[in-house]
Structure 1
Amino acid sequence: MKNFLKDFVRDESGASAAEYALILAIVGTGIAGAAFALGGAISGAMQTATTCIENGPTTGGC
C-alpha cells in the first residue's frame, strides 16, 4: 500500500491531460469571443443594408 501511494504521487501522466484541457478551454473561449464579435459585425452590416434599401441611397452611410 505504501509503494502504491508513492507511485501515485510521483505519477505525472494525468498532468498532460489537464494541460490539454486547459489549452482547449482557452482556444474555445477565443473562438466563442470571435464568433460573438463577428455576429455583431454581421448584424450591423445587415441593419445598414436594410436601412439603405428602405430609405434609398440618400441617407448617410449608404
Structure 2
Amino acid sequence: MKKLMTMARQFRDDDNGAAMVEYSILVGIIAAAAILAVLAIGAWVTGRFTGLCTNLNAGPGTCDAAAGTGS
C-alpha cells in the first residue's frame, strides 16, 4: 500500500506532461504566425507584381500577369 501511495504522489507531482502541453501550444502558435507571415508577404508581392504589370500595360511595354511574361 505504501508503494502505491508513493507512486500516486510521484504521478501527482510530475510536471513533465504539463510542460510538454505548454511547449506544444507554443510551437503551434509560432507555426501559425509563420504561416500567416508567409501568406501576407505572398499577397504583398503578388500585389506589387500586379501593379507593375498594370503600369507596363499602360506604358510602352506589355505584360501578361497570368503567364508571368512581359516586355
TM over 0.5: yes
Larger strand percent: 2
Larger helix percent: 1
Shift of 1:9: 2.4
Q: Is there any run of 5+ residues in structure 1 with no aligned partner, and where?
A: 58-62
- Letter paired with 2:18: A
Q: Is there any run of 5+ residues in structure 2 with no aligned partner, and where?
A: 61-71
Q: Determine the C-alpha separation between the residues in 1 that align with 2:5 and 2:23.
A: 30
**Alignment partner of 1:23 is 2:23:** no
Structure number with greater Rg is: 2
In the superposition, the TM-score normalised over structure 1's length comes to 0.72
**Alignment partner of 1:46 is 2:39:** no
Number of positions where the alignment pairs a residue of Structure 1 with one of Structure 2: 57
Q: Determine the C-alpha separation between the residues in 1 that align with 2:59 and 2:20.
A: 57
Sequence identity percentage? 25
Greater relative contact order (Cα < 8 A, sep 6+): 1
CA RMSD across the alignment? 1.7
- Letter paired with 2:59: G
